[in-house]
Structure 1
């Protein structure tokens, strides 16, 4: 449900996923779109003039234009590169913060993520050597290894 404060691109993407079986039926897509709108967005929809939209593409463009200020701007890669583990921060807290930022960056930067995570751990951090010693082939492997050490740290 779009409340007028959520990312319009994300909302349209989710709507399209739910309606994939009916994506060729423009009229149905336009009519059903309103059912995904909350009160604020519904006021916008109700304010559209009769015949002002000729296609679902036009409808979603108008929707995105109206709620553009709610769009989530992807973070730049350098925001990930500038992260480091803070003094006294647990591996769990740091890795949660790191992966949250990683997921807000557009693009395929798995190799950069693996290297920068390792480099961002302080040299004196006890689990740095086991985490950085063996090369992780992908982000999933690194996350699995981090999760193992997070559990050890919590015990």
Structure 2
């Protein structure tokens, strides 16, 4: 049951709770965490936003702690307000408790071997394939170069010139793969643009039409046969 002074309850120790937000400071706006998404992603986004905030160094820790509650909603917010009084003495304590509470919502970390599942689809451009591959690669921590190179090459269309080139002349660095892919992409786009230009020229040509003689013709009286 709530007491008359329950509004003053705080999950933070006095060293944090007593610190006021600096003048003009406001918690950056980020997507609210409701307990269903990855908590690590939320922490990373929050820390990045707060890193560029205008809070003074002496109040940074307190601001990090006291501002965190405003980024939560629904089940996550209920968890935050139910934390025991004075149980959090640092932002590290808050992060540990937060991650432990919502551990079941964490995504399964992707492994380098998952890159072999990315395959260039029929009719997919090199540009789209490279974009999909890079998106997945960035999400993998400590992805070794050899795995990335092999997975990229194996995922390409086996009939493509890029696949043949990477097979005959393997790369040692993934940056080299990116450079060759960029060259192949430019060639692909150039071919497509040329085809488009040819198609446009062909469709824009109109078949010749017969010109009608608009000059006035002399009047000719029709033959009328009279019946006797």
Question: For the superposition of Structure 1 and Structure 2, which TM-score range results when normalised by the shorter chain?
Answer: 0.7 to 0.9
TM-score (norm 1): 0.75
| SS of structure 1 residue aligned to 2:147 | helix
Matched, 1:108 2:143: yes
Mapping 1:35-74, distance limit 5 Å? 35=70, 37-40=71-74, 41-74=76-109
**Cα gap change, 1:115 to 1:30, in 2 (>3 Å):** same
**Cα gap change, 1:139 to 1:24, in 2 (>3 Å):** farther
User: Is the Cα contact below 8 Å between 1:22 and 1:28 reproduced in 2?
Assistant: no
Q: CA deviation at 1:90?
A: 2.3
* Structure ID, larger Rg: 2
| Aligned mates of 1:22, 1:12 — CA distance in 2 | 20
Cα RMSD of the aligned pairs, angstroms, is 2.9
| Aligned mates of 1:81, 1:144 — CA distance in 2 | 20
User: Is the Cα contact below 8 Å between 1:16 and 1:23 reproduced in 2?
Assistant: no
Matched, 1:8 2:39: yes
Q: CA deviation at 1:79?
A: 1.5
TM-score (norm 2): 0.55
Mapping 1:18-29, distance limit 5 Å? 18-20=49-51, 22=57, 25-29=60-64
Q: CA deviation at 1:134?
A: 4.9
What runs of 5+ residues in structure 1 fail to find an aligned partner? none
* Bigger mean CA offset, 101-110 vs 134-143: 134-143
Moved over 6 A (4+): none
* Bigger mean CA offset, 132-141 vs 59-68: 132-141
Alignment: residue pair count: 154
CA deviations over 1:83-133 (Å, ceiling 9, x no partner): 433333322232222222222322131232123312332432133234555
**Cα gap change, 1:31 to 1:151, in 2 (>3 Å):** same
What runs of 5+ residues in structure 2 fail to find an aligned partner? 1-29, 193-228
User: Is the Cα contact below 8 Å between 2:115 and 2:136 reproduced in 1?
Assistant: yes
| SS of structure 2 residue aligned to 1:127 | helix
